[in-house]
Structure 1
Amino acid sequence: MGRGGTKGTHRIEFDLKDDINLIPGTQPNELIHQGALRNGRHGKMEIFENDF
């Protein structure tokens, strides 16, 4: 997420609960969940400024 450059300005971290299953996508860094991931219901979501 962000404007131009080589990195985004923000990052999202999502700590999934143990019973949530993700499947590999078509790219090496891609994991897919069937449907929406909801904060609190499926895990804990945090948004940070990308400072690295």
Structure 2
Amino acid sequence: MDTLCGFMRDIGRHLSKPVVMTAEGGYANPVLGFDPAADRVVLLAQPRFS
């Protein structure tokens, strides 16, 4: 997870743009994303409780 978040952070910093990760085929529901304003990777999905 640290490697993935670092990769997203590096791309976002290089491009100065948000970077999002979605579940396969779920473009409308991002899971993680790099927020350039906060300069960090943030959780975008709502936790699901069973």
TM-score, normalised on structure 2?
A: 0.21
Q: Which is richer in helix?
A: 2
When Rg is computed on C-alpha atoms for both structures, the one with the higher figure is 1
Q: Which is richer in strand?
A: 1
TM-score, normalised on structure 1?
A: 0.20
